[in-house]
Amino acid sequence: MPIPRTVFLISLLLLILRLPRFESANHDYSDALSKCILFFEGQRSGFLPNGQRISWRANSGLSDGWQRSVDLTGGYYDAGDNIKFGFPMAFTTTMLAWSVIEFGDSMPAGELRNTMVAIRWATDYLLKTVSQPGRIFVQVGDPIIDHNCWERPEDMDTARTVYAVEAPNPASDVAGETAAAFAASSMAFRSSDPGYSETLLRNAISVFQYADNYRGAYSDNADIRDGVCPFYCDFDGYQDELLWGAAWLRRASQDDSYLNYIENNGKTLGAEDNINEFGWDNKHAGLNVLVSKEFLEGSMYSLQSYKASADSFMCTLIPESSSSHIEYSPGGLIYKPGGSNLQHATSIAFLLLSYANYLARSGQSVNCGNISIGPSSLRQQAKRQIDYILGDNPMGMSYMVGYSNYFPQRIHHRGSSLPSIKDHPEFIACKEGSAYFNSSNPNPNILVGAVVGGPGDDDSYEDDRDDFRKSEPTTYINAPLVGALAYFVANPNPS
């Protein structure tokens, strides 16, 4: 007996409604931006201020630096552990400052203030790390010991080992990124706090001199013991950080000596290698985009090779381009093997939007061989990445904690997964926390705004605390996302 047409249509509609839906939604970018910035308060180390909004956190790391007779309190824990790594913290700072420089005009006034506070929490700490001439403190905490504990930062009783490098030992990677962080931040503070801005720029110059005078990676130092790298190692060489630091100093100071540096050292330091990466470890793509601004808007033809490399990078991101080779998940997420994949999605989205701005202001497009790509295409590509993170994906999940009604509940984060010291003031020792780590219960403390490492190359996500590659948030995932979200607050439907 044939099925009545009305029954068939109703059945078809019900089937459609059950299918995974990840078309573009009307996202509340303003809410996402607010949460994205709030996350940094959950990562704070040191004495927390009266205005601390993530209230389940408390003071921690108050004796940091005492071993070396220096005050190293403050700064950020970079992820779900209790270590302060100077290299990714400096990159995080650079990206927060670049977010303000590039997209601050799109931020609501309150969120711009919150972002400036987040930057200063980092720069105040980084200034402490370079307070002694000829010495840079690059890390606080022993990661091997720390990673063997599941302990709240407020309870830390593990070694707070201080790692430092002294002249003439090299640390061009950490020093170059720290110089970039100071220079970019000096631009961000220029109008609101000129005195602080000048302090940052002065320190940027001196730290960059250290980086250039003693060329080499920090991993070349004796702090590498028994073949173990006790910090974030620079696996891609230090050369990109030298150019990155010089490029930011050029932009912050307008000093021609830094222009000459990036002109004369580009070839020897690998600027033309077309390495299509951007993150805490590799600055090549970001360097090319940053320097291209001066070429595009200032007709600085000596920098044309940087523009050509930036164009090449953009073409690799466009699926329709004949030179496309970036891997995408079936749901459309940029995917690179390794952990914390969403760091690639957020940083690349930031570069897409920044480069689109530069092209739009100069009335140019990118020639990708078989097609020409304009600012609109780059912005749409960025929007797809950001919307995927916020929930337009096969799982229907927001990968930002606290945004929407469906987000990761079991993130790999000590403070979030252990009872708050406010609710459970009794000390929880190193191994006593393992019971909470192994629990299948949701984390008791919601780390609002945390963006986790993200799904696999098949768009799957298991919400497993033990799978840190997917479930651990980091500051360097969130930092470029601040700028991208600020753009979409003002331009929710870019053209």
Q: What is the DSSP string of 139-165?
A: EES-HHHHHT----GGG--S--PEEEE
The H helix count followed by the E strand count for the chain is 17, 5
- Residue closest to 156 by CA, chosen among 58, 61, 44: 61
9 backbone dihedrals φ, ψ, rounded to 5°: -65, -40
Split the chain (495 residues) into runs of 10 and give each run's mean pLDDT. 41 35 73 98 98 97 95 98 97 98 98 98 98 95 92 95 93 96 98 98 98 90 53 79 97 97 87 79 95 90 92 93 88 93 98 98 93 96 98 98 97 98 96 96 98 98 97 98 98 91
The rounded distance, in Å, linking the Cα atoms of 196 and 60 is 26
Q: What angle do CA 295, 495, 106 make, to 5 degrees?
A: 70
The rounded distance, in Å, linking the Cα atoms of 30 and 106 is 10
Q: At what angle do helices 109-129 and 29-42 cross, to 10 degrees?
A: 30
What is the CB-side half-sphere exposure of residue 479 using CA atoms within 13 A?
A: 26
- Residue closest to 82 by CA, chosen among 10, 156, 7: 156
Residue 113, number of CB atoms within 10 A of its CB: 13
Structural element, H or E, at residue 366: strand 366-367
CATH number of 26-490: 1.50.10.10
Q: What is the pLDDT of residue 19?
A: 34
Q: What is the pLDDT of residue 1?
A: 40
First-to-final CA distance of the chain? 52
Q: What is the pLDDT of residue 21?
A: 45
Structural element, H or E, at residue 482: helix 475-490
Residue 301, exposed/middle/buried by CB under 10 A (0-12, 13-18, 19+)? Answer: exposed
The rounded distance, in Å, linking the Cα atoms of 100 and 119 is 10
Separation in Å, CA 145 to CA 8, 56, 418, 468 = 63, 25, 18, 17
Structural element, H or E, at residue 480: helix 475-490
Q: What is the pLDDT of residue 215?
A: 94
Q: What angle do CA 203, 209, 210 make, to 5 degrees?
A: 95
pTM of the model: 0.94
Cα torsion 139, 141, 143, 145 to 10°: value is 160
Tokens of 250: 């050029």
Question: For residues 373 and 315, is the Cβ–Cβ distance under 8 A?
Answer: yes
Exposure string of 177-216, with b = 16+ CB inside 10 Å and e = fewer, is: bbbbbbbbbbbbbbeeeeebbebbbebbbebbebbbebeb
Range list of H helices, 338-374: 342-362
The string of DSSP letters for 173-188 reads HHHHHHHHHHHHHHHH
Three-state DSSP state, 31: helix
Residue 408, exposed/middle/buried by CB under 10 A (0-12, 13-18, 19+)? Answer: buried
The rounded distance, in Å, linking the Cα atoms of 410 and 442 is 5
Q: What is the pLDDT of residue 117?
A: 98
Residue 80, number of CB atoms within 10 A of its CB: 23
Active-site positions read: 412, 463, 472
Question: For residues 373 and 314, is the Cβ–Cβ distance under 8 A?
Answer: yes
Give the bridge partners for 165, in sequence order. 136
What is the CB-side half-sphere exposure of residue 200 using CA atoms within 13 A?
A: 32
The rounded distance, in Å, linking the Cα atoms of 129 and 443 is 33
Q: What is the pLDDT of residue 230?
A: 57
Q: What is the pLDDT of residue 229?
A: 58
